């Protein structure tokens, strides 16, 4: 009986160590943002992501970003000025950080990422003091399907 308890304790300890290594390695993985070259709002969005995730954010000026978007499964109708990859998920445009974190925690089946089409005023990185925020949707996308993941702004 003692050997069984010791074996169980060892398995629990090992699983705790593996879980902590997995969390630590995800936190150490940099977030990569491909942007239209020279776009200033992308840097503002990336700064918010860096602060909220507590991780390094690498910004790549990418003149071939439309090709990169296709490889990441971003539907052309949801295009914006930057595409970020976080823990294997794609985030197109000015997606709010809270929505990103919710998707990463839930990891719903069939969802490849989130997108905010265009550059809505008031979305993260597009805040302008004194300017009224636009209403916009965050769209979840995956192979062959899209749906509203969240709604923001006045409606």
- Mind listing the pLDDT tens digit for each residue in 44-69? 899 999 999 999 999 999 999 999 99
Question: What residues contact 16, with CB distance under 8 A and at least 6 apart?
Answer: none
| Helix/strand number for the chain, H first, E second | 4, 7
Torsion of CA 52, 58, 75, 104, to 10 degrees: -40
pLDDT score recorded for residue 12: 38
Q: How confident is the model at residue 13 (pLDDT cuts 50, 70, 90)?
A: very low
Q: Mean per-residue pLDDT for 112-138?
A: 92
Task: Pull the structure tokens for residue 80.
Answer: 């914006």
Q: What does CATH list as the number for 29-152?
A: 3.40.30
Residue 122 has pLDDT above 70, yes or no: yes
* Domain ranges for the chain: 29-152
């Amino acid at each position: 009986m003692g050997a069984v308890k010791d074996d169980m304790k060892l398995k629990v300890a090992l699983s705790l160590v593996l879980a902590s290594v997995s969390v630590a390695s995800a936190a150490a993985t940099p977030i990569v943002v491909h942007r239209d070259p020279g776009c200033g709002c992308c840097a503002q969005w990336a700064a918010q992501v860096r602060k909220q995730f507590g991780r390094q954010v690498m910004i790549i000026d990418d003149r071939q970003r439309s090709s990169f978007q296709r490889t990441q499964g971003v539907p052309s109708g949801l295009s914006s000025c930057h595409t970020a990859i976080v823990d294997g998920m794609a985030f197109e445009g000015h997606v709010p950080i809270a929505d990103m974190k919710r998707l990463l925690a839930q990891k719903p089946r069939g969802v490849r990422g989130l997108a905010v089409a265009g550059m809505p005023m008031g979305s993260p990185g597009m805040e302008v003091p004194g300017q009224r925020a636009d209403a916009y949707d965050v769209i979840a996308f995956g192979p062959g399907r899209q749906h509203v993941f969240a709604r923001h702004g006045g409606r």
